[in-house]
Structure 1
Amino acid sequence: MAAAAITTHPLPLPPSADPSYFHTFGTEVRGLDPGNLTPSQFKLVEDLLYKHSALLFRNADLSPEQQYTLTKAFDPSSESYGHGNNKTGGEKKSILHPDLKTIPRQPQVQLIGNGLVPEHEGLVNAQLKHPHHRTFHKTVVPPEDDLKYTRFYRWHIDAALYDLSPPKVTTLYALAVPQGEAQVCRYDDGTGDELPVPLGTTAFVSGKTMFDLLPPEMKSVAVRTTVKYAPHPYVWMAPAHALSTGLGLETEGLELPLNELPQWEEGKVKFLPMLWKNPVTGNLHFEVHPCGIQELLIAPLPKGASRDNDGASYPSGAHLTELKDVRDLVYKMQRPAIAPALVYPHDWNEKDLVIFHNRGVLHSVVGAFAEGQVRMFHQCNLAASDDPAGPSEEDIRKYA
């Protein structure tokens, strides 16, 4: 019997999405079993991922062991879960603490979702908690509108952002998807922006589009900037409040003082480029976790670049240390790319597997669940064997 043909198909874009921004972003792959890929099939999947940023497989059968093996194949020397094995669960102050339950026999795979799960893969009576914006945002959707309207909880990259390197890929596998009415995601930032979303969606935006949208003077800043993240950023940010768009934090002085954080070392603080270079396409992706940023280091314009009347910001470079200045600049650069027409909100079905290039997209939890609605997903990402590459000298000359 002949093997099924391997084909790719555009993602099912919602009416809100502008197709012109999704020519290369996302693709559905058919004719492959992602839990049992041959080496040549894996190379095809890897190539597709770096070219499209997100891959969808429908009706996948995937054990925790297979999901770990698949995730690890993208970075064979990686081993630890992206936030450190069991470290997040043991650190009660971390904002991630309630969201993750580790699969005992495969600790790199996490059970996430909502509701009580009596028994699953060695876990008993696991109480899952879908993150809700009222626990993190400064302002909230009124209770009477809670199940009709929702918000982006937190736009982010899956990464510890301290000590460990950001994972190259994340795999998300849907085991139980609650059925219910669609919701409207409100931005509540004065723009009037809203986005219809399926219940319990995961929202994605392209880091490449985020960079491509920038005006030339902001591209010049992005290509020259290094981001310094706070030590133990999820503990540091836990007392703070997020903006209504989920795109970073309000500056209220609520972050945990550095001397009250778990023990940390200066040498493990992460300095990462603002732009991460795609290893296959060479494209630059704007990849900043806006909640974890602490400082920005902007290099001066390169030798030979005109400093006169070209509109370049920070021509002599800068070191921004005031949180409000840092956040305001990053927000100004990132906000255009989360406009409703640029967001892909995936409408999950059971046994959907989404593999996304964690160094090429930002994503957010969205949605609010009624009591009794159970959502179960397996999530896996692995701290990478290296930090992401930034812009090349040629990129800097081109854009700076």
Structure 2
Amino acid sequence: MPALTVEPLTPPAGSSIDFGAVIANADLENLTDDDFTTIRQALYTHQVLVFKNQHHLTPKAQYELTRRFDPLATTYGHGKTIDAKRSILHPDLKTIPHQPQVQVIGHGTIESYEGLHNITLKHPHHRTFHRDPIPLEDDYDFTRFYRWHIDAALYGLNPPMVTTLLAVRVPSGRRQTLRYDDGSGETMEVPLGTTAFVSGERMYDLLSGEDRKFALRARVEYAPHPYIWMSPARSRPTGLGMYSDNLELPLSDLPPIDESSIQVLPMVWKNPDTGKPALQIHPSAVRKIHCADGTVIDDLERVREIVYGLQRPAISPQYVYAHDWEEGDLVLFHNRGVLHSVVGAFGEGEVRLFRQCNLAAGEGVVAYEGGN
């Protein structure tokens, strides 16, 4: 078999993305130690890796590839959420019976797939999550970022190192215009049902000197049971965090809270291979900011405004990689180095079927402690 190759993505016209690569000649079903070493190094260098023509990849091999980045990990990244039906993640996932760490996501009715029968999948639509959605009459042609996020439970379980996404069935031939609708006038053309990525390293690099100093020394406290806590609240039109309309569930309405499971994580995370800093914050789940001087910002609206100001520059169109999915694509991304978002609104008869795997990490996040 030809040697494995790594080819950095070529940014499209007008784009300033500086991450992403295509890996060719990788046999992911029978991965050698040498090839995995190359893939691991490529991932932490390029953040997002694309493997073409992986139609044959089994759920078991997808799980084993994902786990190879973190051999201590065995549990699906969100675990088994108590009171899951109130979680905003509940409608989005189906579990493969014979490989429970691998989830099926997508849109439409699937008669049979990997032990699942007569399942109906629902692609997350911004109308269910954004406060002020695009008018129905524009829904076919226009779309938004649904929710910028890191794949992580953010309560009890460590954020996964990586996520793998396999495109099994992809509707094709249509594009949409993505609108920011935040007064910036920014838009971008995207493939139907794309997954959008931005680099946490670029997000850090775009910070002012003062904001870097703040972010390096601050930590974010996430809400307990965050996906239940935020369920009544609504998102900004950019998908980057929430409006503060006092709609979050009071803590007394959440499942029992284990104080030791509440996560307080650094804002800036260290790349395990290159040592570079990445601004990694899940903007929808933040609840407090712990400052370097020991003070805690607990006014939720102010917390969100601070985080939005730090993150918003890096989701401008020139910094977004919108993957144009083809059937058989496997995308492996560094979940501790990028943020990503579901995108798109599907019409009648447009069916999408994907497999997703991420695993709660065996070790916690490492803060970047450099000076710049």
Same fold per superposition (TM over 0.5): yes
What is the rounded CA distance, in whole Å, between the counterparts of 1:181 and 1:162 in structure 2?
38
1:387 is matched with 364
Q: Does 1:45 align with 2:39?
A: yes
1:308 is matched with none
39, 50, 56: which one aligns with 1:56: 50
Greater mean alpha carbon deviation, residues 91-100 or residues 28-37: 28-37
Q: Does 1:190 align with 2:183?
A: yes
What is the rounded CA distance, in whole Å, between the counterparts of 1:244 and 1:9 in structure 2?
34
**Aligned 8 A contact 1:114 1:374 in 2:** yes
Q: State the shift of 1:371 in Å.
A: 1.5
Q: Does 1:77 align with 2:72?
A: yes
Q: 2:127 aligns to what SS in structure 1?
A: helix
Count of residues in Structure 1 that have an aligned counterpart in Structure 2: 371
1:137 is matched with 130
Q: State the shift of 1:12 in Å.
A: 5.0
What is the rounded CA distance, in whole Å, between the counterparts of 2:32 and 2:81 in structure 1?
33
Q: State the shift of 1:255 in Å.
A: 0.3
Q: State the shift of 1:318 in Å.
A: 3.4
What TM-score comes out, normalization by structure 1 length?
A: 0.91
What TM-score comes out, normalization by structure 2 length?
A: 0.98
Matched AA of 2:292: A
**Aligned 8 A contact 2:4 2:35 in 1:** no
What is the rounded CA distance, in whole Å, between the counterparts of 1:180 and 1:140 in structure 2?
24
Q: State the shift of 1:224 in Å.
A: 0.4
Q: Does 1:348 align with 2:325?
A: yes
**Aligned 8 A contact 1:82 1:164 in 2:** yes
Q: State the shift of 1:180 in Å.
A: 3.3
What is the rounded CA distance, in whole Å, between the counterparts of 2:117 and 2:10 in structure 1?
36
Which runs of 5 or more structure 2 residues have no equivalent in the other structure? Answer: none
Matched AA of 1:70: L
CA deviations on 1:198-219 (whole Å, 9 max, x unpaired) are 0000000000000000000000
Which runs of 5 or more structure 1 residues have no equivalent in the other structure? Answer: 301-316
**Aligned 8 A contact 1:166 1:383 in 2:** yes
Alpha-carbon RMSD across the aligned residues, in angstroms, is 1.1
Q: 2:30 aligns to what SS in structure 1?
A: coil
Q: Does 1:29 align with 2:36?
A: no
What is the rounded CA distance, in whole Å, between the counterparts of 2:32 and 2:12 in structure 1?
33
239, 247, 252: which one aligns with 1:254: 247
Q: Does 1:232 align with 2:232?
A: no
Matches within 5 A, 1:1-400: 3-18=1-16, 21-22=17-18, 25-60=19-54, 61-84=56-79, 86-87=80-81, 91-300=84-293, 318-392=295-369, 395=370, 398-399=371-372
**Aligned 8 A contact 1:295 1:319 in 2:** yes
**Aligned 8 A contact 2:8 2:46 in 1:** no
Q: 1:294 aligns to what SS in structure 2?
A: strand
**Higher Rg:** 1
**Aligned 8 A contact 1:16 1:196 in 2:** no
Q: State the shift of 1:40 in Å.
A: 1.4
**Aligned 8 A contact 1:152 1:246 in 2:** yes
Q: 1:185 aligns to what SS in structure 2?
A: strand
Matched AA of 1:71: T
What is the rounded CA distance, in whole Å, between the counterparts of 1:13 and 1:368 in structure 2?
25
Matched AA of 1:357: H
Identity %: 54
CA deviations on 1:265-324 (whole Å, 9 max, x unpaired) are 111001110011001111000000000000000113xxxxxxxxxxxxxxxx63110001
CA deviations on 1:52-104 (whole Å, 9 max, x unpaired) are 101110001311000001100000010100000x437x610000000000000
What is the rounded CA distance, in whole Å, between the counterparts of 1:188 and 1:216 in structure 2?
29
Q: 1:59 aligns to what SS in structure 2?
A: coil
Q: 2:50 aligns to what SS in structure 1?
A: strand
Q: 1:92 aligns to what SS in structure 2?
A: helix
